[in-house]
Structure 1
């Protein structure tokens, strides 16, 4: 008999939130993120060291016996909420979630060694699939011949920050060091500069076999990534709503706060309802991933992830668009950070599957296909 999940935050999760928020307030203010986005090094490596090594957050999803913190997806979701609120330019989603989940699906000694390295935070990993990839895709852009990898993958998120690439091929999942011969990383123009994309080319690069079949590891990684991405989108939307409410209370027009006008009240109230619903969907996805969705062969987890992504992505974009409009002229300036949130929300809306793609998957899962 299944029990209803408890979607409320525990005391430990609230304490984790407070610690991460305090760290980000000290080391990831909007001015610093704006300045870094204009450079050739958008990743904040100092912030990553604080998060991953000092606080141990890179290993949240890794069991203690394998070198991690032994936490769950619920705690990782809280971290991603806060990183979303700050639009933090760190490879947490790509390394501590997606790459880590792929390694957790592998049982080789090489995978275990690499997993411990990622959990320590001293090594950053990236699964070499496009950011727009979905769990059901078949990735054969890279070929393997006697351990030598050849091929090119475009649109890989945070590839420039990676120390090791996890490369799916028809012959299995391989690990390739970013510094190895035959590996080239070419930055691509990214709409969201806080999560830059790159093309990764392998030209006879030496690979270490992690698993004889890549599909299960890739599917696990992308499903967890999509489920926890909803928490990042929740953090984005929550910050945008909070900041917009604050601004409309302070901004006056005709000797009245603009937030007192009924039309704006209605828009903000509607946005608040959507953010609350996003929180429920994101928390449900994180809880389903944490508990494993044992019933129905994990199908409940697939449903929770599809629902979360189908709902959260449009809400994050709408929150950014509303914030931009309701801030008036200042919202259109480069100095105000809203454009960072809009770009992240737009990029997230096509990451790991669009809302439409997840609705199609949901229809298949619940047997309600379009006629």
Structure 2
């Protein structure tokens, strides 16, 4: 396999980019589902999806990341969809995946605690039979989702449950964040009744779910960094000082060259993590670490090189800076993933 995009992937990227450029943010997700089928990219054709793979998800994430599109791509299309597929529960997949693939329903995966570790070896909720207890934090689109999937401890293993979002004992609360383009929620279950999906210990599957999500999040970060660099370069060609564009000064050229290297290597790392399934655990961890650093660095430089307007509310620089720092913490902090890489023989 190669990191060179196929004709289909190039066409997918161009279609998404064109649509997002002419669409208001609040309408973007519905149009991405209706006109492009983004919500069903990784869903098998047998469940009403396009039957594509992680590489196509990464292409979509690169483009939505560029525009900081507020969409349930990571939460529903990646985390929840992959959790269902990993469960190997055909009945649950046949019932839940078709409307998700069409964009008619959004699913959320409730998993981690207040520490936000997203550790596949543990979960914050517990289950006694079909009765669930616990509070889950940082649930992507958790307060608005139509389908709620919960990871819970059952004796000495983890299991996946479906819980009715509006059912008795279920409380969902939107948690405002600095990054307004990423919707998070806190979900509290108090003797809520759930329906187990799949059998056996869900830990091995949860490892794969997290690794894929990290790869797609990394692609989103790479796309955001790419767009931030483009806007910065364009501004330095327009802004003049001492009678010449500031982009012509050698010191700024060096800084933008460094940003370019970060963006290109971030893109390669993200696409590699999404493309090469046989080594996804290591590649996803590497991508999460590097793409977090790349976006944080480029977003900070974007503000610096834009000068005074870079700190105004009207300019989008602050949105990329906020996305950089929120994404860095999501799905586990960079140093936690770095420890996974260095611990491997």
TM-score (normalizing by structure 2): 0.93
Counterpart of 1:84?
A: 65
Aligned-pair CA distance for 1:267: 0.2
Give the equivalent residue in structure 1 for 2:340. Answer: 361
Does structure 1 retain, via aligned residues, the 8 Å contact 2:212–2:280?
no
Aligned to 2:49: 68
Pair 1:17-2:13 in alignment? yes
TM-score normalized with structure 1 length: 0.87
Instruction: Look up the match of 1:39.
Output: none
SS at match of 1:189: coil
Instruction: Work out whether residues 331 and 338 of structure 1, in 8 Å CA contact, stay in contact via their aligned partners in 2.
Output: yes
Within-5 A mapping of 1:111-130 = 111-130=93-112
Out of 126, 130, 137, the position equivalent to 1:147 is 130
Q: Deviations over 1:91-129 (max 9, x none)?
A: 111100111110011122124321223212111111102
Describe the superposition over 1:318-357 as per-residue Cα deviations: whole angstroms up to 9, x where unpaired: 0000000000111100011111111111111111122211
Match of 1:161 among 144, 162, 165: 144
Residue 319 of structure 1: SS of its match in structure 2?
helix
**Structure 2: how far apart are the matches of 1:117 and 1:107?**
18
Q: Could you tell me how far apart the structure 1 residues matched to 2:42 and 2:173 are?
A: 30
Contact 1:100 1:221 in 2 (8 A): no
State the aligned residue count.
337
Cross-structure match for 2:3: 7
Question: Which segment drifts farther, 122-131 or 7-16?
Answer: 122-131
CA distance in 1, matches of 2:239, 2:29: 36
Structure 1 residue aligned with 2:311, among 326, 332, 344? 332
Tell me the distance in 1 between the aligned counterparts of 2:208 and 2:19.
30
Which aligned runs of 4 or more in structure 1 are off by greater than 6 angstroms?
none
Which moved further from structure 2: 145-154 or 262-271? 145-154
C-alpha distance in structure 1 between counterparts of 2:126 and 2:143, whole Å: 22
Task: Give the match for residue 163 of structure 2.
Answer: 176
How much does 1:233 deviate? 0.6
Following superposition, the deviation at residue 258 of structure 1 comes to 0.7
Q: Give the equivalent residue in structure 2 for 1:98.
A: 79
8 Å contact kept, 1:135–1:220: no
Q: Distance in 1 between matches of 2:145 and 2:34?
A: 16
255-264 or 351-360: bigger deviation: 351-360
For residue 194 of structure 2, what is the aligned residue in structure 1? 207
**Is residue 315 from structure 1 mapped to residue 294 from structure 2 by the alignment?**
yes
Output one character per residue of 1:163-203: Cα deviation in whole Å (capped at 9) or x when no partner.
11110112321011222222111122312111122210112
Q: Distance in 2 between matches of 1:199 and 1:137?
A: 21
Structure 2 residues without counterparts, runs of 5 or longer = none
Distance 2:68 2:191 in 1: 36
Match of 2:37 in 1: 56
CA-CA distance at 1:359 after TM superposition: 1.2
Q: CA shift at 1:135, angstroms? A: 4.5
SS at match of 1:90: coil
Give the distance between the partners of 1:51 and 1:157, measured in 2 at CA.
18
Offset of residue 148 of structure 1: 2.4
**C-alpha RMSD of the superposition:** 1.6
